[in-house]
Structure 1
Amino acid sequence: MGVATLLNLEDLNVHYGAIWALKGVNLTVGEGEIVSLIGANGAGKSTTLRAISGVVKASSGGISFQGEDITKVPAHDIVKKGIAQVPEGRRVFANLSVLENLELGAYIRRDTRGIKRDLDDVLDRFPRLKERIGQVAGTLSGGEQQMLAIGRALMTRPKLMLLDEPSMGLAPLLVKEIFSIIREINEEGTTILLVEQNARMALQVASRAYVLETGRIVLDGLAKELAMNEDVKKAYLGG
């Protein structure tokens, strides 16, 4: 492939009690790529991201990042290694201001100058957040909260960003805007693993994609080829 592997999941299994949520998942993300993970609700997409970020534990199999085994590394240490997750449903701190939310994104960092520079960059990228810098996050619109969640993740200076359903609950115009932001972030050097129900958008923005069904990867390949695949069209692209 010619691209250095940043993230590698090997035969990953996750159980929630008696429920076998991920069944032998193999997946790689190369440096600089956008890789999409598509599938129906309950297929295990969010579980995959949570396992990578250390929020749920793997029952067996391995996760490596930049060649290092991170399968048993606690979630807060995974952030320090350069993996940031933008969770499903945004999960901004509703009672804190926009600025406080962004500052919390940088809690593991000590480079005051760099933090200030990144904060300026985030506010330049999201002018609406700049306008609402002192506003309580809970009063922002859904789209603004999504921008804040992405901005907060950017404040960790991630090498890999895990995006969980960024378009959920947003109006079509805002979805377009969020996806062009995702593209920009990637072009500036952040690798992205994207979980998204809007399969059409997910396949447009990604270079490669995986299809997950009931905890198993059933298809993978170049995003544009999967977008032409009859089974994928039927199941996820409405025809």
Structure 2
Amino acid sequence: MLSIEDVQVFYGNIRALEGVSLHVKQGEIVTLIGANGAGKSTLLKTVSGLLKPKKGRVLLEGKEIGGKAAQLIVKKGISHVPEGRRVFANMTVEENLQLGAYLRKDKEGLKQDYEKVYSLFPRLLERLKQQAGTLSGGEQQMLAMGRALMAKPRLLLLDEPSMGLAPLLVKTIFRIIEEINQAGTTILLVEQNAHLALSIAQRAYVMETGRIVLSGTSDELTSSDQVKMAYLGGH
């Protein structure tokens, strides 16, 4: 579904991605693990059109999307839940969700998708008229994911969904990620919590300083000594 081929991305003169290649098949959860600053968020931003690759290709179902405008990429079926959630703090929960759906014209489908988001995240229904900035961190994460789902993505990019959340909430968020996937959405997940990420993904890639250094099934990486030492606390 998604192919990234030999992609290089620069911030000014600094190379952030050095010839990264990976692929995500339809229906999969694929996770990207690695230390802070490894280039994981940069890669997601490149897929969603927030950054332009200097070299290489980004293909969605065989068609080049690298360097296209972010709103066109949303139209093609890719939604991005950024690191740090980035909800519109001064708008209500409802307005944030409406913004997620701003490109859509299908009234009936929209109604169903609002219902779907409320069933995944009942807390949002309780808080509809509340300003997003007054929500807890966990509720803001739910809102950011709900907002992305309102664009009806076929591919969902999730950047650090567990960041700063209490362990119990993290479990809930990850259960919901699995539900979203089971309902038919393909997921590319960036996550610091390698243990959790590997537990729900089918395949994984390890990034270090802008390069992919390891890839394989989640089971292979979970049992790799290198991954255990670096990302799973040696267990």
TM-score range, shorter chain: over 0.9
Once residues 173 and 120 of structure 2 are traced to their aligned partners in structure 1, the CA distance between those partners, rounded to angstroms, is 11
Give SS of 2:79's match: strand
Once residues 171 and 223 of structure 2 are traced to their aligned partners in structure 1, the CA distance between those partners, rounded to angstroms, is 21
Note if contact 2:51-2:67 (Cα within 8 Å) is conserved in structure 1: no
**In the alignment, which residue of structure 2 is the partner of 1:26?**
21
Once residues 84 and 30 of structure 1 are traced to their aligned partners in structure 2, the CA distance between those partners, rounded to angstroms, is 16
Once residues 197 and 230 of structure 1 are traced to their aligned partners in structure 2, the CA distance between those partners, rounded to angstroms, is 18
Give SS of 2:41's match: helix
Once residues 124 and 68 of structure 1 are traced to their aligned partners in structure 2, the CA distance between those partners, rounded to angstroms, is 34
Shift of 1:74: 0.8
Given the alignment of the two structures, is residue 77 of structure 1 paired with residue 72 of structure 2, yes or no? yes
Note if contact 2:4-2:20 (Cα within 8 Å) is conserved in structure 1: yes
**In the alignment, which residue of structure 1 is the partner of 2:30?**
35
Given the alignment of the two structures, is residue 88 of structure 1 paired with residue 70 of structure 2, yes or no? no
**In the alignment, which residue of structure 2 is the partner of 1:118?**
113
Give SS of 2:187's match: strand
Q: 1:155 aligns with which of 150, 153, 166?
A: 150
Aligned length, in residue pairs: 234
- What do you get for the CA RMSD once the two structures are aligned? 0.5
Once residues 124 and 65 of structure 2 are traced to their aligned partners in structure 1, the CA distance between those partners, rounded to angstroms, is 34
Can you give the 5+ residue segments of structure 1 that lack an aligned partner in the other structure?
Answer: 1-5
Q: 2:48 aligns with which of 50, 53, 62?
A: 53
Once residues 26 and 176 of structure 2 are traced to their aligned partners in structure 1, the CA distance between those partners, rounded to angstroms, is 19
The residue identity in structure 1 corresponding to 2:155 is L
4+ aligned runs moved over 4 Å, structure 1: none
Once residues 88 and 71 of structure 1 are traced to their aligned partners in structure 2, the CA distance between those partners, rounded to angstroms, is 21
Give SS of 1:11's match: strand
Can you give the 5+ residue segments of structure 2 that lack an aligned partner in the other structure?
Answer: none
Shift of 1:72: 2.5
Give SS of 1:78's match: helix
Given the alignment of the two structures, is residue 225 of structure 1 paired with residue 220 of structure 2, yes or no? yes
TM-score (norm. length: structure 2)? 0.99
Once residues 125 and 179 of structure 1 are traced to their aligned partners in structure 2, the CA distance between those partners, rounded to angstroms, is 12
Q: 1:103 aligns with which of 91, 98, 105?
A: 98
Q: 2:169 aligns with which of 157, 165, 174?
A: 174
Note if contact 2:46-2:67 (Cα within 8 Å) is conserved in structure 1: no
Give SS of 2:66's match: coil
Once residues 42 and 124 of structure 1 are traced to their aligned partners in structure 2, the CA distance between those partners, rounded to angstroms, is 35
Once residues 224 and 152 of structure 1 are traced to their aligned partners in structure 2, the CA distance between those partners, rounded to angstroms, is 32
TM-score (norm. length: structure 1)? 0.97
The residue identity in structure 2 corresponding to 1:28 is H
Identity fraction in percent? 64
